[in-house]
Chain A
Amino acid sequence: MNDIDINTKNNDSDSVGDIDSSSSRGWAKLKRNKAALVGGIFLLIYIVCAFGAPVLFWGNPSAPDLINSLSPPCAKYLLGTDELGRSILGRILYGSRVSLMIAVGVVGVGLLFGVPVGLISGYFGGKTDFIIQRFTDMLLAFPGFLLALALVAILGVGLKNTVISIGISMIPIYIRLVRGCVLTVREEVYVEAARASGTKDRHIILRHILPNVLAPIIVQTSLGMGTAILFAAGLGFLGIGVQPPTPEWGSMLGSARAYMMGKPHVATFPGIAIFLAVLSFNLLGDGLRDAFDPRSKI
């Protein structure tokens, strides 16, 4: 057992020169991972829906058709209509644009602030690190969704504020993640060597450290998009996220609640859309982790 271990370890030891070969190994592993494949296919469908909504659905998803309100699925309305007679299929398709926009925006905010701050915190250590860590402690003292709620309470409702609120609630997660990775990479011989030979800090961070913390960041980005969709739908459901008439999955569910008694389809389909979108990011994230970042858990 020990003997075999030694051989396999030699193959993917992570010195600088090995980054390329280990990432190509990762791609090979990713392709073999059926879960990631399924996730990738779902994600592709999701993106096609988001970009192709006007092509896939002719007509206005916000146009009411009161005569046909709360119609169950039929030939004209494949997934039925909501309380104003709007096509649920159309609103789900257009809703995929909104949720994809939110997911990208939220993760963008998280990455934009979280990654640089995490790099600085982990690389420089000392007082900078201490202050940044106390700040993240403060943000992490609130459960993520509640932090987003509190921020929405301050900023107000709407698409932009939903993105900012959830984005801010994700920043500390990225800071922690990146900082933790930097701390381990910082002690590697090649970083020590670069520092000893007088390489500029900025150069060391960008050329030596960032490439080595990329894998966990990518994994977290995929999983984070799923969380962002869930959070945004949650805010929409509570009526404090994206506001109607913008078609948003969460708010569709929120208004469907009043009619679920006799018309369960109104609440069923938007929920399935959220579920599949989140599932695709989770499947992909799991696959990416198994392939590129096998050491980390969850």
Chain B
Amino acid sequence: MKAGMAPLLSIVGLKTSFHTLDGTITAVNGVDFDVYPGETLGLVGESGCGKSVTALSVLRLLNPSMTTIHGQVNFDGKNLLSLDPEEMRMIRGGTISMIFQEPMTSLNPILTVGEQISESLRLHEKLGRKKAWEKAIQMLEIVQIPSPELRVGEYPHKLSGGMRQRVMIAMALSCNPRLIFADEPTTALDVTIQAQIIRLLEHLKKGSNTSIVLITHDLGVVAQMASRVVVMYAGRVVEEAPVVELFHDARHPYTKGLLKSVPVLGGDKKTRLNEIPGIVPNLLHMPKGCSFHPRCSMTMDICKKESPSMIHFNKNRRVACWLATDDF
């Protein structure tokens, strides 16, 4: 990014494991990336690659009795993973907030929209009940919900999916966070609504210095919104590049496969990844060597034996693939 600017968020060697009855699953395995102030970073990969878990690990929203998280999450000079739970709680929803994938299930069905927005305002901004309610109406207006003063008193089941996602966005923005994780914010929505929500996010982004980590499998969305992209596969980062470079000159076979499967740039249809043969490996039974090799069209002997290490081309370009060494 811009030279000399310090990253807002810096993830170093993040490793998240779940303890299940069937064994330990390492969903995120040594992920590093930085997020700079004001930028939108695309975090891309198929479902199951660990991108949501990365976000949930950063915010420490995973059940601590079933997960272990290693590594460092440096935010604003503090390692979030070593904060005590109370300090962490005040960061959540205040300085870092999150937009979830499923607007249908992510809002509490028995609390009004206004209540759900204003409770974080009362907590983080220390507003009174009435002030917070007024701010909630304002927030609904900002996310372009018509007649916000009526909608604010309604329950989620009265709202459409797109409306609910707007409410989620209003909730995430309400306390002026410095960083937002948007986890597949449009995936659950209709195509036309998707476009509206993306436009809304872009619009809101313009006026602020908030950074966004946009988690998605939809490269069309990434092309539209992100300036930099981190590609994940099976719990690891496989490639990172500025968005234009990624679309023109992807280095990792997986990224190339992803790009091929995008129908039209900024596509009008949900991205299907069926051009990459095979499926995401079961995290319990990871293949030896490079975890992508069973699906890769350019597999070499070494790919089956050893997993490739990350090669940094410059500050914003890196790739983890045995082929990449020869290129440069």
Task: Write the residues of chain A forming the contact surface with B, with a CB cutoff of 8 angstroms.
Answer: 1-4, 6-8, 29, 32
Query: Chain B CB within 10 Å — which of A1, A8, A29 has the most?
Result: A1
Q: What's the minimum C-beta distance from A10 to chain B, rounded to whole angstroms? A: 9
Q: Is B62 a contact of A1 with CB atoms below 8 Å?
A: yes
Q: Which of B39-69 contact A (CB under 8 A)?
A: 47-53, 56, 61-62
Task: Give every chain B residue within 8 A of A2 (Cβ-Cβ).
Answer: 47, 52, 101, 183-184
Q: Which residue of A has the minimal Cβ distance to B53?
A: A3
Nearest CB on A from B217, distance (A): 11
Contacts of B62 in A (CB 8 A): 1
Q: Which residues of A contact B49 (CB under 8 A)?
A: 3
**Residue contact A6 to B48, C-beta cutoff 8 Å:** yes
Contact in complex: B53, A1 (CB < 8 Å): yes
**B12 adjacent to chain A (CB < 8 Å):** no
CB distance from A71 to the nearest CB of B (A): 52
CA–CA, A2 and B50, complex, Å: 9
A135 nearest CB across to chain B (Å): 34
For the complex of A and B, 6 pairs with smallest distance between CB atoms: A3-B48, A2-B52, A3-B52, A1-B56, A6-B47, A3-B47
**Contact B53–A7 (Cβ < 8 Å):** no
Is B51's CB under 8 angstroms from A3's CB? yes
Q: Within the assembled complex, what's the spacing in Å between the Cα atoms of A3 and B282? A: 11
Question: Is B173 part of the binding interface, using a Cβ–Cβ cutoff of 8 Å?
Answer: no
B277 to chain A, nearest CB (A): 18
**A residues near B25, Cβ cutoff 8 Å:** 4
In Å, the complex CA distance between A4 and B56 comes to 12
Provide a sorted-by-A list of 11 A–B residue pairs whose CB atoms are within 8 angstroms.
A1-B52, A2-B47, A2-B101, A3-B47, A3-B51, A3-B52, A4-B27, A4-B283, A7-B282, A8-B20, A32-B21
How far is it, in angstroms, between the C-alpha of A3 and the C-alpha of B184 when the chains are bound?
A: 12
Contact: B56 with A7, CB < 8 Å?
no
Residues of B close to A4: CB separation below 8 A: 18, 25, 27, 48, 53, 283
| Alpha-carbon gap, A29 to B20, bound state (A) | 13
Measured in the bound complex, the distance between the Cα atoms of B48 and A4 in whole Å is 6
CB nearest to A3 among chain B residues:
B48
Contact A3 B27 (CB under 8 A): yes
Question: Could you tell me the distance in whole angstroms from the C-beta of B115 to the nearest C-beta in chain A?
Answer: 25
Q: Which chain A residues lie closer than 8 Å to B184 at the CB level?
A: 2
Known: A4-B27, A4-B53, A7-B282. 15 other contacts (CB 8 A): A1-B53, A1-B56, A2-B47, A2-B52, A2-B184, A3-B47, A3-B49, A3-B52, A3-B53, A4-B18, A4-B25, A4-B283, A6-B47, A6-B48, A32-B21
The closest CB in chain A to the CB of B48 belongs to: A3
- Give A114 to B255 CA distance when docked, in angstroms: 58
Question: Are A7 and B52 interface neighbours, CB within 8 A?
Answer: no
- Candidates B21, B61, B101, B283; contact of A7 at CB < 8 Å: B283
Q: Which residues of A contact B56 (CB under 8 A)?
A: 1
Chain A hits for B282, CB < 8 A:
7
Q: Closest B-chain residue to A7, C-beta based?
A: B48
Query: In the complex, how many angstroms separate the beta carbon of A111 from the nearest chain B beta carbon?
Result: 32
Question: What chain A residues lie within 8 Å of B183 (beta carbons)?
Answer: 2
- Per the bound structure, the CA–CA distance linking A52 and B34 in Å amounts to 73
Q: A3 → chain B, closest Cβ, in Å?
A: 5
Give the docked Cα–Cα distance between A154 and B304 (Å).
78
Q: Please, how many angstroms separate the alpha-carbon atoms of A4 and B25 in the complex? A: 9
Residues of B near A8 (CB, < 8 A) are 20
A77 to chain B, nearest CB (A): 48
B-chain residues with CB within 8 Å of residue A1 when the two chains form the complex: 52-53, 56, 61-62
Q: Is there an interface contact between B50 and A3, defined as CB atoms closer than 8 Å?
A: yes
Q: Output the least CB separation between A32 and chain B (Å).
A: 8
Residue in chain A with minimal CB distance to B45: A3
Residues from 240 to 261 in B contacting A, C-beta threshold 8 Å: none
| Chain A residues within 8 Å of B52, by CB | 1-3
Give Cα A39 to B21, complex, Å.
22
Across-interface contacts of B18 in A (CB, < 8 A) = 4
In the complex, chain A residues whose CB is within 8 Å of the CB of B53: 1, 3-4
Chain A, Cβ-Cβ closest to B187: A2
How distant is the Cα of A62 from the Cα of B51 in the complex, in angstroms? 73
* A226-B268 Cα distance, complex, nearest whole Å: 59
Measured CB to CB, the closest approach of chain B to A12, in angstroms, equals 11
Q: Which residue of A lies closest to B28 (CB)?
A: A3
Chain B residue nearest to A2 (CB atoms) is B52
Measured between beta carbons, the chain A residues less than 8 angstroms from B101 are 2
Chain B residues with CB under 8 Å of A3's CB are: 27, 47-53
Cα distance, A29 to B47, chains bound together (Å): 28
Question: Within 8 Å CB of B50, what residues of A?
Answer: 3
Q: A32 vs B52: C-alpha distance in the bound complex, in angstroms?
A: 31
CB within 8 Å of A: which B61-99 residues? 61-62
Q: Smallest Cβ distance from B63 to chain A, in angstroms?
A: 9
Contacts of A6 in B (CB 8 A): 47-48
Nearest CB in chain B to that of A8: its residue: B20
Rounded to whole Å, the gap between the CB of A4 and the closest CB of chain B is: 6
**Neighbouring A residues of B61 by C-beta, 8 Å:** 1
Compute how far the CA of A217 lies from the CA of B101 in the bound complex, rounded to whole angstroms. Answer: 36
A4 to B26 Cα, complex, angstroms = 10
The docked-state distance in angstroms from the alpha carbon of A6 to that of B52 is: 12
- Bound complex: CA A26 to CA B266 (Å): 45
Q: How far is the CA of A29 from the CA of B52 in the complex (A)?
A: 29
Contact residues of B between 1 and 42, Cβ < 8 Å to A: 18, 20-21, 25, 27
Residue of A nearest to B279 (CB): A10
CA distance A8 to B23 in the complex (A): 12
Give a binary string over B274-285; 1 marks a CB under 8 Å from any A CB, 0 the rest.
Answer: 000000001100
Query: Who on chain B is nearest to A1 by CB?
Result: B56
Measured in the bound complex, the distance between the Cα atoms of B235 and A7 in whole Å is 14
